[in-house]
Structures are given as structure tokens and as C-alpha cells.
Chains A and B, each alone.
Chain A
Amino acid sequence: MVDVALVGRLDTPGVAGIELRFTATLVPRAARAVIDMSQVEFIGSMGIRMFISVARALSKKQGKLVLYKPQPMVEEVFNTVALGEIISVQPDAASALAAVRS
């Protein structure tokens, strides 16, 4: 199990700055990963795209991606694109751990 805390902004420059490392950290090891979103203050479509891309790659290798504790405006973005339909989004670390093990 891998626990990752993202900090800052997932706008276009922010995603460009972390996507390679984020993907390389999780996908090759087919991680079951929980991502702490509590310190992500902004997300746009490029951040959504990054999560879908990593979650898809993990699902092909029996890994899993779970996001938890998004800030309210970030959660609204998740809801607008119905991200929760395809990636588990949990309110806290405990429920995220339960979800990633299921």
C-alpha cells in the first residue's frame, strides 16, 4: 500500500510538474494507493485527466487508486465530472484505507 500526499495546485503547470513522478511512483509497482487531497487547493481538468490516466493504468495491473479528503471546491469539481463513478473518493484516511483494500 502506498500513501501519497499531494500539496499545492493541480492546474496545468502543477500537473506538468508532478505527473511523471506521480505516475512513475505508482504504476510500475501496480500500487494500491491512497492519495491525501487535503492540501490540494485547486484542480482543473488536467488534474482530473491525470488521476483517470493513473487509475486506468493501475486497474489493468490489479492496482487501485483511492483519493481522500478533498477540499470543498475540489470536491465540487470531482462531482461535476462524476469522478466518483470511476475512482473512489473518500472523506477520510480510514475510509480510504478500507476502500483501497476492498
Chain B
Amino acid sequence: MAKSFRCSPTPHRRWPPCVPDIDANPIRLRFAGTPRGFEQAFLQLRGALDREETKPGVRARYNIELVFEEIIGNIVRYGAPPGGELRVAVSVEINNDGIAVTFEDDGIPFNPCSRSDAANLRTLAEPAEGGFGLKLVHRVASSMRYERTADLNRLVVTLPVL
């Protein structure tokens, strides 16, 4: 069940807010690690990318969204401690040299860089135990760096501009 947060008259300085908190240049989002927070933050991210001055190309744009989808999807589905809540922060920095997407969450420790890719299925009869998401992230990323500091997971995924 989605957790709910009371709306504040000035939600922009509350964390977690009932709607994603967003800044531009670089794009920064903060939201509750719930399915609803995920959905709203995804809409905010896409809107911010539409407005971004340094417009990413079609491939780069897709890959930013793909990395967001897979990493946040994992955090929301698996990251919350038992009975606990999750807070998530994402930043997207686009410049001529590359794109850096940074994820921070206060969920259980998880290093996406250390997980091996799922094997591809050869028949439909084989069980699909997931792992496609991280496989996709590893495929498009130029680099991935993870650290666990002060009860936060921090992951930086870099992507090519083109």
C-alpha cells in the first residue's frame, strides 16, 4: 500500500514531499520511495528533460529514462527496510562530456554494480527470475560507481551524450 504524506503549504522544502521536489540545472528530484512517488517523479523527470537547455539526443534521452526506470524500480520494490519508509534523491547532470545520473536512497544496502547480469533465456519454459533491469543498465552505462555512506546508498551512473 502506498504510504501517504500530508501536504504542506510550502512542500518544496519538505522531504519527503507529497509531490516530487524538483530543481533544474542539474535536474534534481527528491521523492518518497513509493510506487506513487516513483510515477510522479518519472513524470517530473520527463518534463524537466523536455525543458533542458542542453537537450540530450534521442538515444541519450532514452537511456536516462531507462536507467531511472530500472534503478528506481529496484529501490522502490526491494529497498525499503521492513516496516520502514524510503527517501530517494536523483540528479541528472548533462554537459558536453557526458551525462551523470546520481541516485541516493536511505534503504537497505545494495550495490547494483556487483550484481552479475542475468543469463538470457533460451526457451519460454525456463523460469525468468529477473535481472533484466540491471542488465539493461550495465549495457547502456559508460561507468557505474557505488558507495554506502552515512546510511545512504549512492550510485552514480554515467552515460554517453550521443
Q: Which positions in A face B, CB cutoff 8 Å?
A: 11-13, 16, 42, 44-46, 48-49, 52-53, 55-56, 59, 73, 77, 80-82, 85-87
In this complex, the member of B58, B70, B121, B122 whose beta carbon has the largest number of chain A beta carbons within 10 angstroms is B121
A49 to B129, CA, bound (A): 9
Question: What is the CA–CA distance of A26 and B41 in the complex, to the nearest angstrom?
Answer: 32
- Within 8 Å by CB of A86, from B62, B66, B124, lies B124
B139 close to chain A: CB less than 8 A: yes
Are A44 and B73 also in contact (CB < 8 A) when A11-B65, A77-B136, A81-B136 are? yes
| A49 touching B62 in the complex, CB below 8 Å, given contacts A13-B42, A44-B70, A44-B73 | no
Q: Are A45 and B130 in contact (CB under 8 A)?
A: yes
Query: Interface of chain A, helix or strand or loop or mixed?
Result: helix
Q: Judge if B12 is at the interface, Cβ distance under 8 Å.
A: no
Q: Which residues of A contact B121 (CB under 8 A)?
A: 52, 82, 85-86
CA distance A44 to B139 in the complex (A): 13
Taking CB atoms and an 8 Å cut-off, the chain B residues in 73-91 that contact chain A are 73
With a 10 A CB-CB cut-off, give which of B42, B66, B69 has the most chain A CB atoms: B69
> Known interface pairs A44-B73, A52-B121, A85-B120. Does A73 touch B132 (Cβ–Cβ under 8 Å)?
no
Q: A68 to B69, alpha carbons, bound, how many Å?
A: 23
The reply to whether B39 and A80 contact each other, CB–CB distance below 8 Å, is no
Q: Which residues of A contact B133 (CB under 8 A)?
A: 44-46
* Residues on the A chain within 8 Å of B73, using CB: 12, 44-46
Q: How far is the CA of A77 from the CA of B69 in the complex (A)?
A: 13
Interface contact A44-B66, CB-CB below 8 Å = yes
C-alpha gap A87/B120 in the complex (Å): 12
Cα-based distance from A53 to B125 in the complex (angstroms): 10
Rounded to whole angstroms, the CA-CA distance of A49 and B123 in the bound complex is 14
What distance in Å separates the Cβ of B30 from its nearest Cβ neighbour in chain A?
19
The 8 Å CB contact of A45, one of B59, B65, B124, B132, is B132
Is the C-beta of B128 less than 8 angstroms from some C-beta in chain A? yes
Residue from A13, A16, A56, A81 within 8 A of B120 (CB atoms)? A81
A12 and chain B: residue at smallest CB distance: B73
B-chain residues with CB within 8 Å of residue A42 when the two chains form the complex: 62, 65-66, 69
With A11-B65, A12-B73 known as contacts, the answer to whether A86 contacts B38 (CB < 8 A) is: no
Residues from chain B with Cβ under 8 Å of A55 in the complex: 124
Query: Cα distance A11–B73 when bound, in Å?
Result: 9
Question: If the complex has contacts A12-B38, A73-B62, are A81 and B135 also in contact, measured as CB distance less than 8 A?
Answer: yes
